[in-house]
A and B are shown apart, each in its own frame.
Chain A
Amino acid sequence: MPVNSDAQGRSYGPHEPYEVSRAKIREFADAVDARSFAHRDVDAAAAEGYSDLVAPTTFAVVIAQRAEFHVVQDPEVGVDFSKVVHADERFTHHRPIVAGDEIATTIHIDKIVSRGGVSTVTTRAELEDLDGGPVATVISTLAVREDA
């Protein structure tokens, strides 16, 4: 089954805000081998001009993927997760993410294209702080095979 192209333009959320913790930033920095002490030590982060531990470049995926789950789970969109490959990803940071941030995310289905037995679904996650200030935009494209 191809992905339902009528779902293009849909939005989900924002749901419960994500609270960025020091522990998660350290854990993520270790996992992607981001070596700066500004991801681990509050004094080192302060020396770099940050109010608390600063997140590694792709940390926003932790928050964005939770939001993308609402798209993948929506039966009316029709994404078979066992046939999904990640095609591309882009992070645009409007400001750095630091520990203590509370971030609300709205996910938009920007584009659905079905061609040659593959559907591509492009989503855009807009991450905002609780005052509505933009934090990051995460654009992700999944390729879904249509074969049985």
Chain B
Amino acid sequence: MSEQDAPTYEGLEKGQVVATREVEFTRDTLVRYAGASGDFNPIHYNDAFAESVGLPGVIAHGMLTMGTAASVVEEWAGPGNVVDFQCRFARPIPVPNPGSAVVTCTATVGALMDEARMARVDVAVELGGQKVLMKAQALVRCA
């Protein structure tokens, strides 16, 4: 971990919002993530294919959404200080072309672990007021 950049444990409070971000996903974002991650499932870039497997069209990679949510936490926690991160994928994010899907991320302190000096940070990730990730929880090691 990076002691230099870790948040100070003292003073953190349950319910405290530590980071927020509005994220805009476009087809460009999806193609960039496909290349960076190596996940070339065509449901993330090919409308005809996505429709053939019963989707409304191209959807974002669940792992792009999760990775972006992690980046929101990390901006507060400092790089390398998110030691655990989990989520359930509740609903897909359709990404139109042309256009974009705008997702909001709100990271809140959900629990504090005094002995380990760790904070559980819960991330609400929403599209049009509906949660796209469930139980998105990060464990952050604090200084």
A79-87, A99-107, A110-118, A124-132: which lies at the interface: A79-87
Interface bin, chain B: 35 or more
Q: State whether the Cβ of B127 lies closer than 8 Å to any Cβ in chain A.
A: no
Interface residue? B48 (CB, 8 A): no
Contacts of B74 in A (CB 8 A): 34, 36, 56-57
User: Is B13 close to A, CB under 8 A?
Assistant: no
Question: Which residues, 57 to 78 on A, are CB-close (under 8 Å) to B?
Answer: 57-58, 61-62, 65-66
| Distance A85 CA – B78 CA, assembled complex (angstroms) | 31
Q: Which of A5-61 touch B at CB < 8 Å?
A: 24, 27-28, 30-36, 38-39, 45, 47-50, 54, 56-58, 61
| B51 contacts chain A at the CB level, 8 A cutoff | no
Among A45, A57, A83, point to the contact of B70 (Cβ < 8 A): A57
B80 adjacent to A27 (CB under 8 Å): no
Contact B87 A57 (CB under 8 A): no
Cβ of B63: which chain A residues have Cβ within 8 Å of it? Answer: 58, 61, 86, 89
Q: Is A133 an interface residue (CB 8 A)?
A: no
Q: Which of B70, B71, B78 has the most CB of A within 10 A?
A: B71
Q: Give the CA-CA distance A31 to B64 in the complex, in Å.
A: 8
CA distance A32 to B73 in the complex (A): 12
Q: Is B36 an interface residue (CB 8 A)?
A: yes
Pairs A–B under 8 Å by Cβ, sample size 7: A31-B29, A31-B67, A32-B68, A36-B75, A65-B38, A89-B66, A93-B83
A interface residues, Cβ below 8 angstroms from B: 24, 27-28, 30-36, 38-39, 45, 47-50, 54, 56-58, 61-62, 65-66, 81-83, 85-93, 96, 139
5 pairs of A and B residues whose beta carbons are closest in the complex: A32-B67, A90-B86, A31-B36, A57-B70, A96-B80
